[in-house]
């Protein structure tokens, strides 16, 4: 089954967990939650603005995890936290990963921790029962790509373009070749992110990979004042687009279901 992992900046609004629940209701297979950081080097303007708004509201890791714990009984899809190394290592990766798990978060993405510096974080994540997801880019050399694929857990994040996150008019031509390279060296699902801005992009990317991560396009809508109900419609449109690609894939080519994924 092709997967849809929409992104939400934690703490961006007072009712931000209502967006989380809306994403789930709209058919998200998992949800990526951004833990805002003051220097998000990999994020483009939209996610930076979303992080700035959350931080100005006083959002902290503690507050966001407390909000998640409060709705944990209503969340049925896996949650992946995305953040930067400073937040992870300030109290130590063991403490950070344990706190994620206690709040119901089962995955972690830290884009500024490269695979060859991930030993400590990987061990801490595994001990806490948290999947550490690693990223690969179009210029990642073959040997490094194989190592990323071997050490990633949950899925492999295919960064479709060189550069930061952000909406784009077209899906990058590098997305499909990168997904093919990763799929050749792993049985893990390969999710394509960065620049998935429209439903038609989601369909095309899902054909190449095993699903998509959509961030900036959704966060722009939240920044512009869209309600959780309106975001439910947006995510539902992306769900339909991903399902369109799924219907084109022969059943014997589909990956086996992963425990905890949407049924």
Kindly tell me the burial class for residue 96, based on how many C-beta atoms sit within 10 Å of its own C-beta (0-12, 13-18, 19 or more).
buried
Q: At what angle do helices 119-128 and 93-102 cross, to 10 degrees?
A: 30
**Known catalytic membership, residue 131:** no
Selected catalytic residue, list 32, 67, 167, 210: 32
User: What is the SS3 assignment for 91-123?
Assistant: CCHHHHHHHHHHCCCCEEECCCCCHHHCHHHHH
SS3 of residue 131 by DSSP: strand
Alpha carbon 37 to chain centroid, angstroms = 16
**Known catalytic membership, residue 170:** no
Selected catalytic residue, list 29, 43, 131, 167: 43
Pairwise CA distance, residues 113 & 98, whole Å: 18
For 173, residues 6+ apart whose C-beta sits below 8 A from its C-beta are: none
SS3 of residue 55 by DSSP: helix
SS3 of residue 257 by DSSP: coil
CA atoms within 13 A on the CB side of 183: 19
Q: Which positions are catalytic?
A: 32, 43
């Amino acid at each position: 089954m092709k997967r849809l992992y929409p992104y939400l900046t934690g703490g961006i609004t007072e009712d931000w967990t209502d967006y989380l629940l809306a994403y789930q209701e709209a058919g998200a297979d998992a949800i990526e939650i951004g833990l805002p950081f003051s220097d998000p080097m990999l994020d483009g303007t939209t996610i930076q603005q979303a992080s700035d708004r959350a931080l100005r509201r006083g959002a902290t890791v503690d507050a966001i995890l407390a909000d998640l714990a409060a709705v944990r009984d209503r969340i049925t899809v896996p949650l992946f936290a995305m953040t930067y190394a400073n937040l992870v290592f300030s109290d130590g990766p063991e403490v950070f990963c344990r706190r994620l798990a206690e709040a119901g978060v089962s995955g972690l993405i830290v884009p500024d921790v490269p695979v060859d510096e991930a030993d400590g974080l990987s061990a801490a994540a595994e001990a806490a029962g948290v999947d550490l997801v690693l990223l690969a880019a179009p210029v990642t050399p073959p040997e490094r790509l194989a190592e990323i694929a071997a050490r990633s857990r949950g899925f492999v994040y295919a960064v479709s373009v060189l550069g930061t996150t952000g909406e784009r008019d077209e899906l990058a031509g590098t997305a499909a070749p990168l997904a093919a390279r990763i799929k050749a060296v792993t049985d893990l699902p390969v999710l394509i992110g960065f620049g998935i801005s429209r439903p038609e992009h989601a369909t095309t990317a899902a054909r190449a990979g095993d699903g998509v991560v959509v961030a900036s396009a959704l966060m722009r809508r939240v920044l512009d004042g869209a309600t959780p109900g309106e975001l439910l419609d947006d995510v539902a449109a992306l769900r339909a687009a991903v399902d369109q690609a799924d219907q084109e894939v022969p059943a014997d080519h589909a990956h086996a279901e992963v425990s905890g994924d949407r049924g």
